[in-house]
Amino acid sequence: MNIKNFLKISLGAAVLGAAQISCIHEDKWDAPEIVCNNKFAAPTKTMAEVVSLAPATSATTYTGTVYKIPVEDATHPAVIFDGYVVSSDENGNFYKTITFQDKPENPTVGLTIGINKSMNYTDYPVGAHIRIKANGMLIGKSSGAITLGVEDPNYSIGRIPESIIGRYVSGVCNGSGLEIVKIVPREIKLSDIGNSNSNWINTLVTVKNVQFTKTEIGKPLVDVDISGNNVDTSRNLVDANGGTTIIRTDAFFKPAAYQIPNASGDITFVLTRYNATYQGAIRGINDINFKNTRFAEGIIGGTAITYSGSFTENFESYANDNALFPKYLNYAFVGNRYWQVKTFSNNKYIQLSANGGAANTAYTNYFMVPVDFTAANTLAFKVNVGFYNGAALKVYTTTNYTPGADITTATLNEITSNFSFPVAPTSGYGTLASAGTYSLPASLTGNGFIVFKYEGNSSSITTTYQLDDITVQ
C-alpha cells in the first residue's frame, strides 16, 4: 500500500468515527441500569423464632446439645430470616465471625455466625442487611452465646467453609446494590450487663460516662507475652457508680499499640459472653470516645446527698450485706472492698475488713458522711473491732471535697485522736461501744464530710471494724 492510499483510508476511518461519536452525543445514551436481585426468597421466620430453636438456652440448664435445622424438602419448609450486621473484622476483632441483630434499632435478639473466611467486612460492612437460609445449619450455645454454624467433626458448631458461604448467607438488595443502614446502639449502664436480658448478647450497645481503671492508664490496648507477641487481652471498664465490665481485644487487633487514655467518656461495643463472663468487643478505636476528665473510681452511693447539722444513722433501714448508701459515699480508693451492712443480735451496723483475698493486696476505703458544719456541734459514733492486728481506722473532716472527684483533690483534717478505738472486742463480736463525743470547732463551717478511712492489707493489717450510730448534733 502506498502512502497516498493509506491516507485516504485513515481519513475515511476518522470521518466514520466522528460520525459515530456525534450520534452518541446526539441520542444521549444512558448507562445501563444496575439491577440487584435477592438470592433468597422473603423471610419465613423472625430471628427470634430461629433463636428459640436452640435447645436449653438457659445458662443453668444448657446441656451442650445443638439443634440441626432440617434440610428443606417436601415436609420441611425453608427457614429464612433477616439480620443487620453490627460487627467488623476490619481491625482484627471478630475473627472469622459475623455478628448481627434483628433490627437496626432496639433489637430483640442477636446472633453470631461462624464463617471460615477473613475480611468479611468487605462483603458485609456494619449495617449490611443480610439474609440467612438456615436449612441444614446447627444452632446452639457456644461459650455462653447462641451461635449459628454448620456440622464439623472437630467442633460442636463449625464455621461455614468459604466455598459454600453463598449457600447460607447473602446480602439483601436495596434495588441497585447491598442495602446498608445506620445501626443505632442501645444505650445501657454497666450495671445493666450482669442483670441484662440474655437477648442483648450479640447486639450493639453504648455506655456513657465510663473509663478504664486507673491501673490500665497508659497501657496498650493489647498486651504482649515474654516473646513480644500480641495476646488476647482483657481491659477493665468502670463507671462512676462502681459498675464494671471487660473489654476483650483479640491478639490480631491492628491498633494494638493504642494506649489507654487518662480520660473518661462513651464507648460502643458488641456485648458478648464467654461462658459466664459478659464482655464487650469493639470494632476499632473509633468506638472509644474518651474526651472528658476522669472521675473518681470506686465510689458507690451518693445519689441523694443532703448536708445536715443534726442526725443519727443507725443503718436499720438497710438490707443485710448492702453496700449502696444513697445518702453517703462508699469510696473504694484502693482495691474493691466496701463497707457493708451486717446484723448481730438484731442490731445492724456497717463492717469492713482487709481479711481474705489475694496475698499482699491493699485496701483503702473512705466512708463519707455529709454534714452542715455550720449547724453541727458534736460528732459521736459507736465502734467495735474483731481480729485486731493493727490500727486501720482513721477519722477526718473535710470541707472542700466535691462528690465524684478523686479524694486526693480534697484537704483532710484528721481528728482520730479525739476518739477511743478498742483493740479487742468490747464484750463480744458485734457488740459496739461509744468511741466518745467530739466537739466540732467553731471555725469549722460550711458543707462538708465526716470521713472514716479504712486502710489495711490482706497479708498484714486485716483488722475488722464495725461502725454504728453515727450521730451529729
Task: Give me the CATH number covering residue 163.
Answer: 2.40.50
**Listed residue (157, 158, 96, 147) closest to 123, CA to CA:** 96
C-alpha cell, 176: 441497585
The reported pLDDT for the residue numbered 33 is: 58
C-alpha cell, 108: 430483640
Which residues, including other chains, have CB under 8 Å from residue 405's CB and lie 6 or more apart?
295, 296
Calculate mean pLDDT across residues 361-373. 96
Q: Based on the number of CB atoms within 10 Å of its own CB, is 65 exposed (0-12), middle (13-18) or buried (19 or more)?
A: exposed
Q: Are residues 83 and 161 in the same domain?
A: yes
Q: Are residues 221 and 327 in the same domain?
A: no
Cα dist. 265→183, 405, 409 in Å? 20, 15, 21
**Listed residue (147, 144, 145) closest to 134, CA to CA:** 147
pLDDT of residue 153 exceeding 80? yes
Contact 336, 357 (CB under 8 A): no
To the nearest 10°, report the CA torsion of 12, 15, 16, 21. 160
Q: Are residues 306 and 218 in the same domain?
A: no
pLDDT digits (tens, 9 = 90+) for 413-469: 999 999 988 766 555 566 789 999 999 999 999 999 999 999 999 988 999 999 999
**Listed residue (40, 70, 74, 76) closest to 135, CA to CA:** 70
Residue 93: inside a domain:
yes
Contact 273, 145 (CB under 8 A): yes
pLDDT of residue 409 exceeding 60? yes
Domain of residue 437, CATH code: 2.60.120.200
Domain coverage including residue 160:
47-171
Residue 456: inside a domain:
yes
Cα dist. 404→64, 190, 216, 305 in Å? 45, 17, 20, 12
pLDDT band at 1 (very low <50, low <70, confident <90, very high): very low
Residue 123: inside a domain:
yes
Q: Are residues 265 and 394 in the same domain?
A: no
Count CB atoms within 10 A of the CB of residue 295. 16
Contacts 24+ apart (CB under 8 A), 225-233: 230/256
Q: Are residues 194 and 287 in the same domain?
A: yes
- Rounded to the nearest integer, the mean pLDDT of the chain is 87
d(CA 265, CA 458): 33
Cα dist. 303→317, 325, 329, 407 in Å? 17, 8, 9, 17
Q: Are residues 64 and 210 in the same domain?
A: no
Residue 28: inside a domain:
no
Residue 26: inside a domain:
no
Q: Are residues 463 and 317 in the same domain?
A: yes
Place of cell 481480729: 387
User: Last residue of a domain, which of 292, 309, 337?
Assistant: 292
Residue 40: inside a domain:
no
State pTM to two decimals. Answer: 0.73
Contact 405, 329 (CB under 8 A): no
Q: Are residues 418 and 438 in the same domain?
A: yes
User: Last residue of a domain, which of 276, 292, 308?
Assistant: 292
Domain of residue 235, CATH code: 2.40.50.140
Contact 316, 348 (CB under 8 A): yes
Q: What is the tally of structural domains in the chain? A: 3
d(CA 197, CA 185): 16
Q: Are residues 462 and 321 in the same domain?
A: yes
Residue 8: inside a domain:
no
pLDDT digits (tens, 9 = 90+) for 85-110: 999 999 999 999 999 999 999 999 99
User: Last residue of a domain, which of 171, 205, 236?
Assistant: 171
C-alpha of 4 from chain center: 82
Q: Are residues 308 and 286 in the same domain?
A: no
Place of cell 507477641: 229
Q: Based on the number of CB atoms within 10 Å of its own CB, is 6 exposed (0-12), middle (13-18) or buried (19 or more)?
A: exposed
d(CA 390, CA 459): 12
Q: Are residues 348 and 441 in the same domain?
A: yes
Count CB atoms within 10 A of the CB of residue 56. 14
Q: Are residues 306 and 287 in the same domain?
A: no
CA angle, corner 471, sides to 467 and 473, nearest 5?
Answer: 165
Residue 312: inside a domain:
yes
Taking phi over 0 as left and psi of -120 to 50 as alpha, with beta for the rest, 428 belongs to left
pLDDT digits (tens, 9 = 90+) for 71-82: 999 999 999 999
